Amino acid sequence: MAAPAAFSLREVLSAFEACVTEQREVLLGPYLCGWRGLIRFLHSLGAVFSFISKDAEAKVQLMEGLCCGEHRERYVSLQSMVRYELDSGLVELHRRSGRPDSGCRTVLRLHRALRWLQLFLEGLRTGGEHSRTSAICTDSYNASLAAFHPWVIRKAATMAFCALPSRDAFLRTMNVGSAEDAVAVLGEALPHISDVYSITQELFAQHRLLDLP
């Protein structure tokens, strides 16, 4: 079997760039492709992160199932998904009752993690040569995802962050050349991730979907 392709930051970033249409809709195909790439990268960081990649993987898989399923035409964009799931009463708004997880609640988890990614990549981009990846990661996590996680997950996540390599080594694993090249790619790409994040945030806020259980 062929070895899985090496992670390339450029690929992930162009997936997020391809998400937003002229009508400012967010396409699920490239969105999930971007997530697939990130999960691949997480695997390359070692087994300490596998509890994180397993959860992200399960969520991406659930979404891919919906995108290929019976109602696939409803899962082309986040906007069409929200419309369809709300109109069909598929979204559990107050508590989970054992029904299959909706696309909306699943995307909401990925969307919150995208905020972490945005802060983390911005921290890496602007951090000095000697700044610590683990500190950048912890700060970004505390300012975003941590608020949604119970103590035990927060503890496990912050312990895993200590295993991250130095900023320069980390930037080099992104496969876009030197640390300086990676910083330049991040500068070009971050606005696209921010765009995807803010369109989704607005869509979910408009439909009061930001607290789905």
Interface residues with ligand 1PX (CB under 6 A) are: 9, 38, 41-42, 49, 51-52, 55-56, 109, 112-113, 116, 137, 141, 145, 153, 157, 164, 174
Query: Which amino acid makes up residue 181?
Result: D
The nearest distance, CB 91 to ligand 1PX, in angstroms, is 14
Chain centroid, CA 167 distance in Å? 20
The nearest distance, CB 56 to ligand 1PX, in angstroms, is 4
CA dihedral for 74, 80, 84, 85, sign (positive or negative)? positive
Return the number of the residue (76 or 201) whose C-beta is nearest ligand 1PX: 201
Long-range contacts of 178-187 (CB under 8 A, 24+ apart): 179/129, 182/9, 183/124, 183/125, 185/9, 185/10, 185/13, 186/9, 186/121, 186/122, 186/124, 186/125, 187/125
The nearest distance, CB 132 to ligand 1PX, in angstroms, is 13
Return the number of the residue (21 or 178) whose C-beta is nearest ligand 1PX: 178
Return the number of the residue (109 or 132) whose C-beta is nearest ligand 1PX: 109
The nearest distance, CB 174 to ligand 1PX, in angstroms, is 6
